[in-house]
Copies of this chain bind each other. A is one copy, B any other.
Amino acid sequence: MFEKILVAYDGSEHSKKALDVAIDLAKRYSSEVYVVEAVDETIFETVGVLPPLSAIEEMEKKAKKDIDEAVKKATQNGVKTVGEVLSGDPATAILEYANKNDIKLIIVGSRGLSRFKRILLGSVSSRVVQESKIPVMVVK
């Protein structure tokens, strides 16, 4: 049922919880786990400045480090794991990657935004939940 599980990861506490759930499910379903983190250069566009190259490089370096750690953790738990740094708007990048790789379940952490922030900003997890064509688990 869940042969391939994707985890949206960013090194935060909520995404670490999501990874733990993914590892646990993967053991019981003999799933492959795909850990992805999106580097979103478009955030610079929203504030109307050209991104300094060093800033993007820093983001990519940080994402690479997060993913390496996550892959290491899952692998140590005996789970076959693939890690990937994606580029672009996170929700879009995650959904495209899931589609391309025939993922059966997406797991995302919830940031626990306040009601105000949620209305104002939306969130990666709610967009993924709304737009995904496969099951999505939001870990709290």
Contacts and interface: CB of A to CB of B under 8 A. Distances in A.
How often does this chain occur in the complex, in copies? 2
Contacts of A56: none
Contact of A129 (B1, B29, B126): B126
Interface stretch (A69-77, A78-86, A132-140): A132-140
A140 B132 contact: yes
Interface of A: 1, 21, 24, 28-29, 110, 118, 125-126, 129-130, 132-140
27 contacts: A1-B21, A1-B24, A21-B135, A28-B28, A28-B29, A110-B129, A118-B130, A125-B129, A126-B126, A126-B129, A126-B130, A129-B129, A129-B138, A132-B138, A132-B140, A133-B140, A134-B140, A135-B137, A135-B138, A135-B139, A135-B140, A136-B137, A136-B138, A136-B140, A137-B137, A137-B138, A138-B138
